[in-house]
Amino acid sequence: MTAISPPARLGILGGGQLGRYFVQAAQKLGYQVWVLDPDPDSPAGRIADRHLAMAYDDRAALDTLAAHCAAITTEFENVPAPSLEYLARTVRVAPAAAAVAICQDRIAEKAFLRQHGLPHGPYAVIRSADDVAAADSALFPGILKVARFGYDGKGQSRVSNRNEALAAFHASGDKACVLEALLPLDTEVSVVLARGESGETACFPVAENSHRHGILDVSIVPARIPEALAGSARQCALQIAEAMGYVGTLAVEFFVSRGRLFVNEMAPRPHNSGHYTLDACETSQYAQQLRALCGLPLADPAAGSAAVMVNLLGELWFDAGRLREPDWPGLQAIPGLRLHLYGKSEARPGRKMGHFTVVGKDLPETLATAMRARRFIGNWDDSDTGLA
């Protein structure tokens, strides 16, 4: 593959914070970036060289990108795969539509894992009330997840029995779902990697993740798991990338249950749990996304320090129902802390507004500092994270 060098123009579908970091990584090296996102005030669109505020399936917008960009990528998995297929007729696109299509549909994702002998929990595809009735009783208690457009805990319901599963299925609008057995969790981890067109790969350190109300709250790097298990997670993620012929940055999330790994889901893009790479690693997941897209050699993904990343959600901007600005100067006075705000115009509960990462040489000390900072900015109780 011929390398694409600056000052070439690149395109990205999606204008959120992940796209914003891609724009920054590209512009730092002298590339121009055009963003396609229907939100006229999107974080990436605000700093891009050009923002096309049109729908992801708008043919005129897609034609404009294809005509003016040397290569195009995406920042989230729910971009319509047909749009990527359409673009790929005339311009380099990575990741490919086929890989994105697998990751954006839980049914396709589970089938892919099963086909390739990759570890996954027991599940059943639910398309009708009859499928609920026929589901193996071993899947209860379980979680019913809509097959498409579910993220950050949305479109998911814990169900104890068949009747609850049926009620949840109807509450979803009878959308296609996956019923997963509820696994006893030791912890959750994720692997972020990059893969180039030639098959070159580079894995970032494994992150240990804690969620709150279905949304990623804290990522700890390196994950506090045995090195053999971390190595297995990296190897499994690499197998997934290879099987998909993947090009770009890919994240794979795992459940660890009774010492065993189970793939939870894949994300065909940089990932929230990889934000730490901005501050702790030789290169970031966004710079690797750029390198893979442009056919450049991948950089060293090694971490130079331990890191703990904490998400900042919209709730922090409210006190007794009144809008206020959090105490950023006080937060930034904490040693080793790096604050990142995404430039979103409106704070809403559950909306990812930013994050901070604490870096240090000693992981327990770094974690303690991050939890102290988390309490300072939000008065949270660490007991709900399992990190206290």
For 202-222, what is the mean pLDDT? 96
Q: Are 322 and 191 within one domain?
A: yes
Q: What is the pLDDT of residue 385?
A: 52
For 222-227, what is the mean pLDDT? 98
pLDDT bracket for residue 246 (50, 70, 90): very high
253 within a domain of the structure (yes/no):
yes
100 within a domain of the structure (yes/no):
no
User: Shortest CA distance to 192 belongs to which of 101, 307, 70?
Assistant: 307
> Which structural domain range is residue 233 located in?
187-384
221 within a domain of the structure (yes/no):
yes
When divided into structural domains, the chain yields a total of 3
Distance (Å, rounded) from C-alpha 164 to C-alpha 176?
16
108 within a domain of the structure (yes/no):
no
Q: Helical H runs in the chain?
A: 17-28, 59-68, 81-88, 97-103, 106-115, 129-134, 162-171, 227-244, 277-280, 285-294, 328-332, 363-378
In this predicted structure, the answer to whether residue 283 has a pLDDT above a threshold of 80 is yes
Dump pLDDT digits (tens) for 123-160: 999 999 999 999 999 999 999 999 997 665 578 999 99
Burial of 286 (0-12, 13-18, 19+ CB in 10 A): buried
Dump pLDDT digits (tens) for 186-202: 999 999 999 999 999 99
Q: What is the pLDDT of residue 76?
A: 86
Q: Are 220 and 354 within one domain?
A: yes
For 97-115, what is the mean pLDDT? 96
Q: What is the pLDDT of residue 213?
A: 86
Dump pLDDT digits (tens) for 299-313: 999 999 999 999 999
Q: Are 166 and 289 within one domain?
A: no
pLDDT bracket for residue 49 (50, 70, 90): very high
105 within a domain of the structure (yes/no):
no
342 within a domain of the structure (yes/no):
yes
Q: What is the pLDDT of residue 360?
A: 98
CATH number at 305 reads 3.30.470.20
What average pLDDT does the structure give for the chain?
95
Q: What is the pLDDT of residue 214?
A: 84
In this predicted structure, the answer to whether residue 25 has a pLDDT above a threshold of 70 is yes
Q: In Å, how far are 308, 333, 386 from 372, measured between CA atoms?
A: 12, 12, 15
CATH number at 41 reads 3.40.50.20
Q: Are 245 and 312 within one domain?
A: yes
269 within a domain of the structure (yes/no):
yes
Q: Are 205 and 336 within one domain?
A: yes
In this predicted structure, the answer to whether residue 382 has a pLDDT above a threshold of 60 is no
In this predicted structure, the answer to whether residue 380 has a pLDDT above a threshold of 90 is no
Q: Which residues pair with 116 in a beta bridge?
A: none
Q: Are 172 and 195 within one domain?
A: no
Q: Are 165 and 230 within one domain?
A: no
pLDDT bracket for residue 320 (50, 70, 90): confident
In the structure encoding, which two tokens stand for residue 174, read together?
Answer: 């009878």
